[in-house]
Structure formats: C-alpha cells, structure tokens
Structure 1
Amino acid sequence: MTFDWQYIVDVLPHYKTALWLTLKLATIGIAFAIIVGMICSIIQYFKVKVLSQIVQVYLEVARNTPLLIQLFFLYYGLPKIGITLSGELCGIIGLTFLGGSYMAEAFRAGMEAVTKSQIETGKAIGLSNLQLMRYVIIPQAFSYSVPGFGANCIFLLKETSVFSGIAILELTNTTKNLMGIFYKTNEALLMLVVGYLIILLPLTLFLTWLERRVRHAEFGN
C-alpha cells in the first residue's frame, strides 16, 4: 500500500486547527491546575481547619477517578440537572480538576523541602505566616517543584487525547473522524504523532532547560 502524501497536504488545515485547539485547552487547563494546586498545598501545609479536610477529599476524588469519567459527568451528567456546559469548558474544568490534585502534591513536596531552620529564623525576625510564605517558602518551594510541575504538564497535555470522548475536535478526535471518512489510517496516525510531537517536544526541551537553570541558581552546578 502506497503512502498518500497528497492526502496529508489536503487534511493539513484540519490538523492545524485541531493542534491549536489542543494547545489552547491544555494551556488554560494547566494554568488553572497550577493555581488550584498551589492553593491546596498551602491549605494543607498550614493545616487550615475544615478547609484541609475538604482539600484532602478533593485530592482523593481527583486522583482516583479517570479524566474521561470526570468529563462524562460534566458533559453528559450535569445537563440532567439543568446545567449545560460546552465541550471546551468541560475539557478545561476536567483538566483543572485532575491536574490541580497532581500539582498540589508536587508543590507540597517542594514546600516540605524547605528546611525548618529557615522557617524558624523567619519567625524569629518577626515574619508573619503570610510573609514567610511570600519571601521564604514559595520561592524555594517553586524551584524544588519544577521537575514535578514539568512532568505533570506533559502528563496533562497527553490527557487531552481523551477529550474526543466529549466530541471536542482536538488532535485525537480529528484523526478518528478523518480515518472514518477517508480510511487513510497510516497517514492519519502519522499526522497525529507529528501533532503531539510539535507540542510536546519543545515543551520537554524547555522544561529540561528550566530545571537546569533553577538547579544552577540554587546549587551552582
């Protein structure tokens, strides 16, 4: 069977649109996931009454349910009680919900890596908890968390492939549709792989560079 390069040229606009949609949803979802994760980790770190228990329940639910099931609940379940959300909004919420739990764990580990002596020193010079968080804990915790954040970003980007379950025309769903119409399986799958490489390879290289810069700034090597 010959490889149809003309087909690839013809469907390239579809993949371009799907790639930008995938990148947009992933970027927004990951950004919100980082914010949610940092808030949850701070609440847990300071053991805020009631809120810490709520956060723990959220983390357990988010980590122990597949993203596809969460998306089904948002897209197909909520309309049963009168709440209708667009597919793209469901994708962002689902990615934020799942990603926030993983980002919380990464940032919590970074916060716990800050030595007790630095925190005690900060308290000794009169810093409040808010000042300790702003000037001592968060800057160092973020540097410690870069590897975890990076791994989670790559994981969440890959998870966008399940958006096809709620009819979002991202890369995977576009590939499935084109395969069903033209039966060009090899060509469509090649474009799918190339599409994810275009997104993930630069991100991986950037995160590797960022991790090295952060490590050099902290340890000097």
Structure 2
Amino acid sequence: MVYKLLSFGFFIFLIFPEKNLDGGECMDINWQFIISTLPLYQKAAWITIKLGFWGTLLSVIIGLVCSIILYFRIKVLKELVEIYVELSRNTPLLIQLFFLYFGLTKLGITMSETTCAITGLAFLGGSYMSEAFRSGIEAVSKTQIESGLSIGLSQTQLIRYVILPQAFAVTMPSLAANCIFLFKETSIVGAIAIAELMHVTQDVIGMYYQTFESLFMLVVAYLIIILPLSFLLSWLERKVRYAEFGN
C-alpha cells in the first residue's frame, strides 16, 4: 500500500515539475477546464465501475462453473469448456466486442451497448478465472477428497465444504489480479460507443483540444477506481489466507 502511494506521489511530481528540462517555465495547466469537465468524468467513472463490477462478477461465476466441469471431466461439457477457454484467451477483447455487437446482428441477435460490454468482459474474464480456479482445485489434496467420499459426502457437499474453501484461499492472488485486469479492460469497450472513461476522454480531446488535462483526468479517475479496489482485494486475500492457513 505504501509503495503504491509513493508511486502515485512520484507520478504527480513528474507531471508537475517546477521547471522544464530546458530551464523554461513549466506548462500552465487549465484547472478551470479540469473543474468544468468533472461531471463528465464522474458519470463516466460510474459507468466504468458498473461495467467492471458486473463483468467481474459474471466472470467469477463462469470461471467457477468451468473449472468444476474441467476438474471432474464431465463428458461433452468438458470439450465445450476447453474450446471456450482457448477461443476466449487467444482472441482480443476488441474483436470479441465487435463480433458480439456487430456480428450477431446478422443472426438476428441484438444487444445494447452495455449488455454487449458486460458480456464481452464476462466472456474474456471467465476463461482466466476458470484457469485460476482449476489450479486452486487441483491444489486440494486427493486424500481429502477421497476421505470426504468415504464418509458419505455427495459430490455437491464435497465441492462446497472441502474443495472450494481451500481453492479460494489458494487462488485469491490470481483472482485479485484478474479482477483488476478486467476493470482496466473496460477502457476497450468505448469502441462500441459506451461513454466510459476512455471514450469520454477521446471525445473531450476532440472537442476542446485540451490533451494534457484530459489525459490527466483519465489517469486520476482510473487511480481512484483501481487503487481502492487493489487495497480491498489485498485485505481480502490476507483474511482468506489467514482463515484457511493461519498465516
């Protein structure tokens, strides 16, 4: 946490030097413009948070289901999940969004921009979450699974009481990294005309030609979103690992 705050402070120091390297005065920053565009960035930030939240939540659900299917090698579904994971991980999010938003209309399937963005984030994130969960599930000792079956636990009870608690503890670092990754990937969805932070920044630059101020607001907005999320996930990771392993 201290390292991240120091990094942010160093970034502010770099963009607000007392003098330029050539000895001249530093550029003037149009604070009035920054203040006037705050409502735009505030609205865009809430849209970004909404997209990131729902995309991440659905990714966790999809990833968990896929990892269980892969671990227990459920026939037919296993092959479908493997195809999905390879397809999702080996194609860019931008192409996935274009296919969902423009391509599916040829099949008579239409989605709103928001639905398409959340679907795209969930489609991409689910494959990464499934790999993270699978590694956590495979880390659970076979002896514990066999012991659970021997005392009469059903497969559902085994997953709920034996496998998942330990899998979550092991995979929390990967899950946290994937969550942050998906929130940052929301910067791509502006390509389908969603007024999230990146899209708003491009519009503001195009209308007012205040490039530095607009990009500065973009960086600050993402830091305001990502840093608290990072701290929360780090705290949750420590809590989960302590509850499971006691350290």
Counterpart Cα distance in 1 of 2:241 and 2:168:
11
Name which one, 1 or 2, has greater alpha-carbon Rg. Answer: 2
Letter in 2 for 1:102: Y
1:180 aligns with 2:206: yes
Letter in 1 for 2:186: T
Please, which moves more after superposition, 121-130 or 105-114?
A: 121-130
**Residue 53 of structure 1: aligned partner:** 79
Is there any run of 5+ residues in structure 1 with no aligned partner, and where? Answer: none
**By how many angstroms is 1:84 displaced?**
1.9
1:220 aligns with 2:246: yes
**By how many angstroms is 1:86 displaced?**
1.1
Tell me the TM-score normalised to structure 2 length.
0.88
1:211 aligns with 2:237: yes
Quote the RMSD (CA, aligned, Å).
0.9
1:122 aligns with 2:154: no
**Residue 103 of structure 1: aligned partner:** 129
Is there any run of 5+ residues in structure 2 with no aligned partner, and where? Answer: 1-26
Q: How does 1:1-221 map to 2 (within 5 A)?
A: 1-221=27-247
Deviations 1:48-103 (A, max 9, x none): 00000000000000000000000011111122332221111110000000000000
Identity of aligned residues (%): 59
Tell me the TM-score normalised to structure 1 length.
0.98
Deviations 1:6-43 (A, max 9, x none): 00110000000000000001101110110000000000
Letter in 1 for 2:63: G
Please, which moves more after superposition, 129-138 or 95-104?
A: 129-138
**By how many angstroms is 1:157 displaced?**
0.6
Counterpart Cα distance in 2 of 1:85 and 1:185:
33
Aligned length: 221
Letter in 2 for 1:56: E
Counterpart Cα distance in 1 of 2:135 and 2:65:
14
Deviations 1:127-186 (A, max 9, x none): 121111111011111111111110000000111001111111100000000000000001
